[in-house]
Structure 1
Amino acid sequence: MEKVSYKFLQYDTVVVGSGAAAYNAVDWLYDLGRRNIALLTEGIRMGTSRNTGSDKQTYYKLSVGFHENDSVYEMAQTLYDGEGVDGSVALAEAANSLRCFYKLANLGVDFPTDEFGVYTGYKTDHDPRQRATSAGPLTSRYMTEALERSVSKKNMPILNELLAFQIYEEDNEIRGIICLNKDKLSDNQLELVVVAANHVIWCTGGPSACYKNVVYPAGHTGMSGTLLDAGVRGVNLQEWQYGLASIKFRWNVSGTYQQVLPRYVSIDKDGVEREFLMDYMSKEEALNLVFLKGYQWPFDASKKDASSRIDLCVYEETAIKGRRVYLDFMNNPAGLEGGFECLSKEAHSYLLKSNALFGTPIERLKHMNPLAIDLYKSHSIDIEKEMLEISVCAQHHNGGILVDANWETSMKGLFAAGEAAGTFGVHRPGGSALNSTQVGSMRAAQHISYTSEEETPDPSLWKVSPDKLAKEIGNSLLSMIGEENNALTVREDLQNAMSCVAAQVRDIKGLSKLRENVEHYRIHFKSLVRVPNIRTLPILLKTYDMIVTQCAVLEAMEQSAALFGSRGSCLVKEEMGGYLPTKSHDKNLRLITRQENGRFTSLTEEVTPVPQKNDWFETIWAEHRTLRQSKQTQ
């Protein structure tokens, strides 16, 4: 019996993923009249949207607060000012933020209002106004579940347990995707599913597998390497967001977790415990910088002498000195022995207004945000009785796959939305990623629906038939099954190296050496990496995807270090010690990364500013009628 079998499916449009972006894409496609569509996912309960959050997970949108005076242009300009952000994409995210927000509210996501229905807001990082709102620690889960309920009522095909790992394209136009059927893996048989599609919306999340230290939920890896390996361009791949997070259960320790002023504790290999921040600064400075980490959670090179000093201290203790670091909520930190008068005006005022100038950190947290305690209890961690282990972790990829204002990639018919899409640059307002999941997936669905007729793809026109394609790929996979079984070891070694030299602190020599190592694995993957049996092929495929992504990311990091120095999410170590300064440029630049002659290369490109639009109603109305008429006649 043949060890490789294959199945063939045909849809006009396929959405890959099962998070907030993916569900929103298929929901919009259906509402726009498309029926020959399917959702394809490795696991319906997997993904970051469903399984992540923070103390108060933020959704960023245009402000509609009672006293706020905001505009689409101002929000777009805020996003654009993040550096490396395309102005047209920023405008689309701002212009459609309320439309997408109200859809979620109407689907049942419980964003808070006052008694008159006003959606009040608060200020988040890199936010000049109060555009942020939240449905609590699990905002993205509530979004995903609400969209899933909407989709389930429409009886659309959901192709579960399919791991999409290769793009089939012809002349830089999408033709289909090749998937491994995880549900049909056995000791002697593997089934590949070839899915023909005229349009694909890729919503696989960020490439979290790149690092060891991550906040991303266990099991989430992303699959950006699949697109990069197919020749799709990446943008700002060097730009990540890092911050303090718990590691036993992966969760950001931002917001009130910091504002209640926990004690920072380091424990060495001999079990010796000490409150270590005072090794680096005074007691008063430590208290006030810990407070600031509440809403300045992301590591920021420009704050290395301010709130981001806390991250650097934790990095020094863990990555350099090999110790373990904990947050202790049971006891007050040094400096509070004489009361709260030593706090800065900002910290003191915040705790005063919150009626929290009393007790221990856990008592303050119980008063201000009891859900933050319950969250850890639901994962068998009781911070009322035990310390919480933390580290500096990768939390979000601000770069990703290059898309235009319709979220179409550099490959025709292939779209990317959610964190897989590179719509952000050096920094972004907290919570803007959740808005991007909704706007990007909606824009992709609209563009597909408005510019094409729905039709079933014809694989008889392919240059390579689906059965031949499946057989060649299947046999290649079987050739990488052997006794050596090193795929997991290779993956973990490279992840450890990335967290050590290519995260918030980047070592130029280390980057270059690591890139050479990763490139060696990418080029010689088929001869170097093995899994023991057919059932472990998903590990093999994800390891390869990670390696491809790391190659592209490391290329962008090396180029960025030379071009920009230390900036945004990273400090770049100089060879003689210290950190490279930030190098200023007259132009707002982004970094484009692509494969060229079998190797990734990067080049800078000036981003377009936010378009200056004519908002005269009669003109817009006439343009709108003309556009609608042209779409109806297609």
Structure 2
Amino acid sequence: MSSDKSQPPASAKQDGFETIPQDILDRLTRVDMPSVKDVPPSEETLQVAGETIPVYRCETLVLGSGAAGMRAAVEAKRRGIDVLVASTGLFAGTSACSGSDKQTLYTASTDYKGDNFLKYAQSLCAGGGMNFSTAYVEAVGSIDAIGGLQFMGLPLPHDDRGAILRYQTDHDEAGRATSCGPRTSKLMVKVLFDEANTLGMRILSSCSGIQIVKEKTETGERVVGVLATHRPEKRNPYGFVFLACQDLVIATGGPGELYRDSVYPHHCHGGLGIALEAGIELTNVTESQFGIGTPRTTFPWNLSGTYVQVMPRVYSVDEDGKEHNFLARYYRTTREMVSNTFRKGYQWPFHSTRMLDYGSSLLDLAVFLEQKAGRKVYLDFLRNPDPVNEGETFSLDDLDPDVRAYLENNEALYELPIDRLKRMNPLAIELYRMHGTDLCKEPLEFAMNNQHMNGGILIDDWGKTSLEGCYSVGEAAGSHGVTRPGGAALNSGQVFGKRVAVAIKRSRLQRQPREADTANVTTALSKALETAASFLDPSNGKTTNEVKSEIQARMSDHAGIICSAAEVSAALAAARKLREEVEADGLRVSSPSLVGSAFRWRHMAMVSEAVLTALDHYIQNGGGSRGARAICDDKGTRCPEAKDEDLSRFRFKEELEKDRVEKLVVKRVGDRFPISSLPVDLTPEVTREFFEKGWGPYLIKEG
């Protein structure tokens, strides 16, 4: 219990959270999305192997309808480019369905003295694996990105002088984060769709790309279209359509289905598999983010920010229903335990070094071990934390100075966690109430989950991939480095959404449109039809559910936050065997309408092998622990400690400096996934372009 002097006066409880009208809470959590008119069925068709394949033509095809893809589509449409958006499910991906307490958009700050783009860029690439030039592009572009969103109607909070309100987020010492609340990215999607409707955007919903179709050129290969499944399509048994394009933007998000313990919405397969199959290079796929969140079996959501900054009671329940104050086995004092629970708010992702010195990721390890022991873990907002030692009590007067100051500054020194949460973030409560859990009445189950792929498709500073005419934006793109500040991914998707539109428009001024070779397209579609038919053979190999279960269990159990060289090598061998079996024996589905799922899980088998190949290469070449994982080794130089637990089995290798200045690249060549590396350029060479000198070239490039 805290002392009386820590309590706000009774009158303070009459303002703040209690005065926010319900309709405002509803507007920011129960977001009404715009209606979207689907593209009418195409009258153009191809006859392939006796089947009718409808053809949809466009100049630029955008796969994915999240915040990054829709920004690319809107910016391209504004530039007079004929755009078609193909979406597996409107408002069903991570942008529309994922978030946290106050989901973060990380941009250059207008607060107080403003920002320095060089320092901003340095913070983005500080963890390694990211070129300074890419970081600088995202820093400078953030101003236009956020301004465009505000113009389209994104309700970012600001003070009466116009400065956007800011706070501190993960890997962020400058306080560049801002938010519309837990549904920030969904609100971004909403305003972008409103703009798309205004522009008359063509959108093909219930449409999933399953194969990139290419043709040879004088200099290599170029994309000419995408074979996709379109759920409403009945002119062939599989719902196949061909989306012919001059340029392709892959904006399909991350591989959420790769892990069993995941905070992604269901059915998020991402675009790495379709890229690998097309021979496109991936990078940094060893780098992910893991952190605490509610399980995927309920309502998957990140538990960062105020969810933990209010310091709820953390406990686990065993199979007999007995409750355990398990964190008391790890932290030495109540103050140390609750202060590090608080720090999970802005140190949310697991990081190996934060397991040391009784830091905030020791909590992650403790939760991970409770899960391994078969216990369920909960946050209880109705009670303060249990003490660590006999004779101690939780007190708001006995907190680390940074924790106490934060609560004071937010006037949140209330008696119970639920009241502290109501004061600081009533939207966080409203969100879970909307999904069936009332934090004012019941505890909240949580777990350690995979949350974000920081790697992905290798792109340059214009979003171009290694395949001519193909671009990538958002989480599908591997541009985020090792340890990005929280919310930087949302900004990256907006910045690169505009940049790929600019790059596509410029490329059109330099080349003539070319028609795809119909014979080449027909051959590709014919092979796809053969593969689709094979999925219906009852004598074929594994079912998609069997492949899904095997991949997800292997990745969660052997490629999560705790890894070892032996386990990763064994996992790689098993993943390679599975992929070879899938390609040799096929997959099995029960109806033609499910062949799209078979294509996607064949892709996921490739993605799993590619990720494990890169991770195994990294470890075998001396790679140590960093953002995503602790690489455990008996000869490791660092070891976490706990009050009453022997953690010597988690002794880990430190990250090598050389690994911070290179990016691992993986692609599919034949039957293998060779690894190469690219040097990271951290040279901060930013030169001033004088107006009169740069104006002419700009006008020529923009046409």
SS of residue paired to 1:603: strand
Q: 2:623 aligns with which of 564, 582, 594?
A: 564
Give 2:171's aligned residue.
Answer: 126
The range that moved more, 199-208 or 263-272, is 263-272
- Between the aligned partners of 1:220 and 1:41, the Cα distance in structure 2 is 12
Give 1:199's aligned residue.
Answer: 247
The range that moved more, 266-275 or 546-555, is 266-275
Question: Amino acid of the residue matched to residue 547 of structure 2?
Answer: V
- Between the aligned partners of 1:381 and 1:630, the Cα distance in structure 2 is 54
Give 1:255's aligned residue.
Answer: 305
- Cα gap change, 1:102 to 1:357, in 2 (>3 Å): same
What's the CA shift for 1:451? Answer: 2.1
User: Over residues 83-139 of structure 1, what are the superposed CA-to-partner deviations in whole Å (9 max), with x where a residue is unaligned?
Assistant: 010222112111111011100011110111111212232222212312111111111
The range that moved more, 399-408 or 172-181, is 172-181
SS of residue paired to 2:657: coil
Give 1:46's aligned residue.
Answer: 92
The answer to whether the 8 A contact 2:256-2:265 is kept is no
Give 2:447's aligned residue.
Answer: 391
Question: Amino acid of the residue matched to residue 105 of structure 2?
Answer: Y
Q: 2:352 aligns with which of 301, 308, 332?
A: 301
SS of residue paired to 2:245: strand
Q: How does 1:364-379 map to 2 (within 5 A)?
A: 364-379=420-435
- Between the aligned partners of 2:652 and 2:234, the Cα distance in structure 1 is 50
- Between the aligned partners of 2:672 and 2:118, the Cα distance in structure 1 is 39
Give 1:495's aligned residue.
Answer: 552
The answer to whether the 8 A contact 1:556-1:593 is kept is yes
Give 1:173's aligned residue.
Answer: 222
Give 1:110's aligned residue.
Answer: 155
Give 1:242's aligned residue.
Answer: 290
- Cα gap change, 1:143 to 1:630, in 2 (>3 Å): closer
SS of residue paired to 2:199: coil
- Between the aligned partners of 2:561 and 2:240, the Cα distance in structure 1 is 39
What's the CA shift for 1:67? Answer: 2.9
Question: Amino acid of the residue matched to residue 167 of structure 2?
Answer: Y
Give 1:509's aligned residue.
Answer: 566
- Between the aligned partners of 1:72 and 1:339, the Cα distance in structure 2 is 41
Q: 2:182 aligns with which of 120, 131, 137?
A: 137
The range that moved more, 608-617 or 552-561, is 608-617
Give 2:497's aligned residue.
Answer: 441
The answer to whether the 8 A contact 2:632-2:653 is kept is no
- Between the aligned partners of 2:73 and 2:459, the Cα distance in structure 1 is 19
- Between the aligned partners of 2:686 and 2:222, the Cα distance in structure 1 is 31
The answer to whether the 8 A contact 2:251-2:271 is kept is no
Q: 2:83 aligns with which of 30, 37, 48?
A: 37
Question: Amino acid of the residue matched to residue 163 of structure 1?
Answer: S
The answer to whether the 8 A contact 2:534-2:586 is kept is no
SS of residue paired to 2:686: coil
The range that moved more, 578-587 or 157-166, is 578-587
The answer to whether the 8 A contact 2:257-2:267 is kept is no
Identity of aligned residues (%): 32
Give 1:276's aligned residue.
Answer: 326
- Between the aligned partners of 2:60 and 2:72, the Cα distance in structure 1 is 10
The answer to whether the 8 A contact 1:10-1:457 is kept is no
Matched, 1:592 2:665: yes
Gaps of 5+ in 2: 1-46, 636-648
User: Over residues 409-446 of structure 1, what are the superposed CA-to-partner deviations in whole Å (9 max), with x where a residue is unaligned?
Assistant: 01111000000001112101111001011111111110
Matched, 1:408 2:479: no
The range that moved more, 466-475 or 287-296, is 466-475
Give 1:9's aligned residue.
Answer: 56
SS of residue paired to 2:412: coil
- Between the aligned partners of 2:682 and 2:385, the Cα distance in structure 1 is 47
- Cα gap change, 1:72 to 1:350, in 2 (>3 Å): closer
Give 2:588's aligned residue.
Answer: 530
SS of residue paired to 1:168: strand
Give 2:120's aligned residue.
Answer: 75
- Cα gap change, 1:528 to 1:574, in 2 (>3 Å): farther
RMSD in angstroms over aligned alpha carbons? 2.0
Give 2:232's aligned residue.
Answer: 183
Question: Amino acid of the residue matched to residue 184 of structure 1?
Answer: E
Give 1:612's aligned residue.
Answer: 685
Give 2:697's aligned residue.
Answer: 626
- Between the aligned partners of 1:483 and 1:330, the Cα distance in structure 2 is 54
SS of residue paired to 2:492: helix
- Between the aligned partners of 2:433 and 2:610, the Cα distance in structure 1 is 39
- Between the aligned partners of 1:557 and 1:472, the Cα distance in structure 2 is 32
Give 2:632's aligned residue.
Answer: 573
Matched, 1:224 2:295: no
The range that moved more, 329-338 or 278-287, is 329-338
Give 2:524's aligned residue.
Answer: 469
- Between the aligned partners of 2:70 and 2:701, the Cα distance in structure 1 is 28
- Between the aligned partners of 1:192 and 1:468, the Cα distance in structure 2 is 14
